[in-house]
Amino acid sequence: MEFYTSSGLKRPVRLNERTRQFAYESLNHKYGIDTLKTANISLDHIENFENMAEIEKYNTAIYEIVTKAPVRICEKEKISGAATLGWAISHKVPVQYNSKPLWSSVSHLTIDFDTVLKKGVNFIRCEAEKYLIKYAGTEKEPFLKSCIHCIDCMKIYHSRYLETLKNKKGYEQNYKNLKVVPFEPATNFYEAIQSIWFTFAFVRLCGNWPGIGRIDRLLGDYLEKDLKENKITLDEAREVLAHFFIKGCEWVCGGNFGSGDAQHYQNIILSGIDENGADVTNDVTYLVLDILEELGISDFPTTVRINKNSDTKLLRRISEVIRFGGGIIAVYNEDLIIKSLTDYGYSLTESRKFANDGCWEIQIPGKTYFTYQPFDSLTILQKETLKGYSNIDFKSFEDLYKKFIEDLRNKVNQLKLNTHDKFIKSGGSSKDWTYKPTTPCTVVSLFEEGCIEKGLSYLEGGPIYNVVSPHIGGLPDTINSLHAIKKLVFDEKRVSFTEFMDILKNNWEGYEDLRYIALNRYVYFGNDNDEVDEIGVRIVNDFSDICDDSTYNSKYMTPAGISTFGRQIEWAKNRLATPNGKKAGEILSGNFSPTPGTDKEGATAIIKSHCKSNLKRTVSGVALDIKLLPSYAKDENGISAIISLIKSFVMLGGHFMQLDIADAELLKKAQEHPEDYQTLSVRVSGWNARFVTMNKEWQDMIIEMSK
C-alpha cells in the first residue's frame, strides 16, 4: 500500500491503518468505478415533461436525482454523503431525457460555506421564503420557488442518508454528526466537517464543481474550542479531516482522460489573514499539510496564502510538503493580491477574503460569478500583426510593437462584445439591459450571496460580483518572438524584415545557421535579462489598460489575467514558426513561464523575470510554473532552497507560483508501467492529475518540463 511521490521520497505515516486503507481504495478507483455504474437518472417517465417551462424541468430533475441516486456508505468512512451519478463527473446535470443530457453544470466558483456552517441551510430557506413574498407575481417568482424546492430536495437526500446510517452498525457517530447539519449551524469540529462535506456532495451530486476555499478559516475555531474542552485530540481531528480528503476522491476512475483526471476544481486555500487583518493560520492548517504529505491526494489542489509576515514555521512546513512532488501545494502572494483587488475597486474587507475559482483565478468566495476568455497572443502576433508572414514590412520595432498592441486591443474588445449575447438590450445603456433566460442552476445559486436577494440565478447576474476576465496566453512566446525580431532585424541587421518573414513562412528551411543564432545567441524571458523582460512589462501594462476599459459592458468586471491552462498543446497546431527559432507546431510556454529550453539561469532568474511586470494589474491572476529537480527534495538544503524561492517570489512581487518536483526517469517508468503507479500525481497547470491518466502527448510534455 504505497502512496507514490514524483520526487522519489518515502512518505511519512501518521494516520491509522484503517484510514490509509480507505485512502488507497479510493485512489485506486473503487468508488469512482462504483459511481460510473449509475450514469444518470432518466426523466423519460415524467408525464408532459417536454411542455414544462425550463425551470420546472430543472426542479423535476433535482427531485428525481435526490430520490433515485444511489446512497453510498463507504466501508471505513467517518463522514457521509456522496455524489454517486457518473454524468456529474463530466460536468453535466446527471439526468437524461430521450437518451440525451439536458444541461451543462457550473464550475469556476467557490461557494458560501460560511453561511452553511454558522447559520445553516434552513436560514437560506427562510431567506428564499422572504424574497418570494417580495417578488411574488413577478418574473423572479419561479426562481425563488425553485430555491425553496431545491432545499427541500436536499433534505430528501439528507433523510435518505440518515435512514441508512440509523440502521447501520458501527456508524452511530456518522449518524449523530449528520443529524442536524447542514440545515442547522455546526456546533463542533466533527459536525463542521460533516456540514461542509454534505453540502459539497449535494452540489456535486447535481453535477456542479465548486471549490472549497479557506478550509482552515472555516474550521479553525471549531477545532480550537473542541481542543480546549478536551472533546477531541489533534490525532483524532487529523483522522476525521483525512476522511474529508479521501471522500473527495470518489470520482477517481482511472483510464485515459487526455489532460488527466482530478480536474474538478475543488481547490483548498490555507493561511493568510482574515477580513480584520488577523492571521488565520491554525491547527487545521497544519493538519491539512500533514494529510497531503502522507497521502499525496491531488484532488484538492491547495494554495497557501503567504505574506511578508508569514511565520517561518509555516514556510518550512509547506516546503517540506512541496519536496514530495505532485504539485499539490502552490503559493499566493497575499500582500500583492490584496493590493491588486483594492486598487481595482474592491473594499479592503472583501479583498482580504479572496480565494480562487477552482483553478487559481482570484475571486471573492460565495459572492462571485466568474468565467474567463482565453486566447493565444502568439497567434495574434503571427497571423494578425505579421499577416502569416506574407506581404508585411515594418520599418522599426516600435511600429511593429504598436501594431501588435492594436491587434491585441481588437481581440480583447471583441471578447467583450461577445458578452452582449447574454442580454436583452432593453435600453441605450448596458446598465438597463436584462439577462436572457439561460441554463437553470438553482442548486449553485443557493450558495452564492446576492442570488436570492436579487431573485436572479448565478448565471443571470445574481452574485454580488460578476466577472468575465480576458486571459492572454502564450505571452512568453510572444515576448521572445518580438525580442528575436528586434535583435535579428532592427539591432544587428542580420536579415531584412521581409527576408526574415520569408524564412519564417518556410519554417526556417535552409536557414539552420540563422536559426541556431536565434535559438542560442539571445537571452530570452526567464533569465533575468532586462532587455527582453521589458517587452513583457510593456505588454502586461498595455493589456491591463485594454481590459480595464469598461465601456463595452457595465454588467461585468473585466480584469486582466495571464494563463494557458495547458492549451499550449491545443494551440500548437495553429502556430507558425517563431522568430526565436522554434519550428511550426512546437509545444511552447505554459502560463507566464519560460518557453521550454530557454531558461538557462535557474529558478531564481525565472522568478526575477516573471516579477518585473506589474502583476498587481493582472487582477484575475497570473501563474508561474517552476519544475525543480529531485535534488531539491533530498535534505535540509533542499528545504531551505524552497523556502528561499517562496520568500523571493513574495518579496519581488509575484502573484501565484506552482512549484513541482518531478523525477523525469520516474515518470518514464510510470509511462511504461502505469499499473504500478496509479496514485502518482503531477502538477499540470491549474490542476493536478494522476500521471497515468494522461495521454502520451500530455505525459511527454510533463516529462520534457521535468528534465
pLDDT at 552: 76
pLDDT at 443: 98
Helix (H) or strand (E) holding 681: strand 681-683
Asked, for residue 591, whether it belongs to a domain, the answer is yes
Q: What are the tens digits of pLDDT across the range 471-504?
A: 999 999 999 999 999 999 999 999 999 999 999 9
In the numeric block, the cell 465601456 is attached to 551
Pair 296, 410 in one domain: no
pLDDT at 431: 81
Residues facing 656 on adjacent strands = 332, 623
Three cell numbers, residue 6: 514524483
Compute the average pLDDT of residues 431-441.
Answer: 91
pLDDT at 239: 98
Structurally, the chain folds into a number of domains equal to 2
Residue pair 324/661 in contact (Cβ under 8 Å)? The answer is yes
Query: What's the burial of 275, exposed, middle or buried (CB within 10 Å: 0-12/13-18/19+)?
Result: middle
699 residue type, one letter: Q
Query: What's the burial of 184, exposed, middle or buried (CB within 10 Å: 0-12/13-18/19+)?
Result: middle
pLDDT at 515: 98
Asked, for residue 657, whether it belongs to a domain, the answer is no
Q: Among the three residues 586, 619, 652, which one is the final residue of a domain in this structure?
A: 619
Give CA–CA dist 452/132, Å, rounded: 9
Model confidence at 257, pLDDT cuts 50, 70, 90, reads low
Asked, for residue 683, whether it belongs to a domain, the answer is no
Pair 406, 504 in one domain: yes
Pair 292, 405 in one domain: no
Q: Among the three residues 619, 641, 659, which one is the final residue of a domain in this structure?
A: 619
Cα 475 from chain centroid (whole Å): 20
Residues facing 375 on adjacent strands = 472
pLDDT of residue 170 exceeding 90: yes
pLDDT of residue 5 exceeding 80: no
Strand intervals (E) in 495-604: 561-562
Asked, for residue 675, whether it belongs to a domain, the answer is no
Asked, for residue 11, whether it belongs to a domain, the answer is no
The chain-wide mean pLDDT, for the chain, equals 94
Model confidence at 428, pLDDT cuts 50, 70, 90, reads confident
Considering only residues 94 and 671, tell me which one the structure prediction assigns the higher pLDDT: 94
Q: What are the tens digits of pLDDT across the range 367-380?
A: 999 999 999 999 99
Pair 49, 142 in one domain: yes
Give CA–CA dist 652/497, Å, rounded: 37
pLDDT at 707: 67
Asked, for residue 659, whether it belongs to a domain, the answer is no
Residue pair 118/104 in contact (Cβ under 8 Å)? The answer is no
Pair 356, 385 in one domain: no
Asked, for residue 665, whether it belongs to a domain, the answer is no
pLDDT at 628: 86
pLDDT of residue 73 exceeding 80: yes
In the numeric block, the cell 436577494 is attached to 453
pLDDT of residue 4 exceeding 90: no
Pair 202, 225 in one domain: yes
In the numeric block, the cell 523582460 is attached to 533
Asked, for residue 658, whether it belongs to a domain, the answer is no
Give CA–CA dist 448/72, Å, rounded: 28
pLDDT of residue 653 exceeding 80: yes
Q: How many helices (H) and strands (E) does the chain have?
A: 27, 20
Model confidence at 429, pLDDT cuts 50, 70, 90, reads confident
Pair 302, 198 in one domain: yes
Q: What are the tens digits of pLDDT across the range 329-353?
A: 999 999 999 999 999 999 999 999 9
Query: What's the burial of 228, exposed, middle or buried (CB within 10 Å: 0-12/13-18/19+)?
Result: exposed
pLDDT at 304: 98
pTM given for the model = 0.95
Pair 23, 139 in one domain: yes
Q: Which domain holds residue 293?
A: 17-361
pLDDT of residue 678 exceeding 80: no
Model confidence at 452, pLDDT cuts 50, 70, 90, reads very high
Return the CA Rg of the chain. 26
Strand intervals (E) in 307-455: 329-333, 355-356, 362-363, 368-376, 423-424, 434-435
Q: Which of 160-174, 206-220, 258-272, 681-695 has the lowest mean pLDDT?
A: 681-695
Pair 594, 461 in one domain: yes
Pair 356, 423 in one domain: no
Compute the average pLDDT of residues 677-690.
Answer: 77
Phi and psi, residue 176, nearest 5°: -60, -45
pLDDT of residue 195 exceeding 90: yes
Pair 380, 302 in one domain: no
Query: What's the burial of 124, exposed, middle or buried (CB within 10 Å: 0-12/13-18/19+)?
Result: buried
Q: Among the three residues 619, 634, 657, which one is the final residue of a domain in this structure?
A: 619
pLDDT at 425: 84
pLDDT at 627: 86
Compute the average pLDDT of residues 54-66.
Answer: 98
Model confidence at 666, pLDDT cuts 50, 70, 90, reads confident
pLDDT of residue 623 exceeding 80: yes
Model confidence at 256, pLDDT cuts 50, 70, 90, reads low
pLDDT of residue 1 exceeding 70: no
Residue pair 199/117 in contact (Cβ under 8 Å)? The answer is no
pLDDT of residue 320 exceeding 80: yes
Q: What are the tens digits of pLDDT across the range 555-576?
A: 999 999 999 988 998 999 999 9
What's 303's domain CATH number? 3.20.70.20
**Cβ-count burial 391-418 (b if 16+ within 10 Å, e if not):** eeebeebeebbebbbebbbebbeebbee
Compute the average pLDDT of residues 384-407.
Answer: 98
Pair 266, 191 in one domain: yes
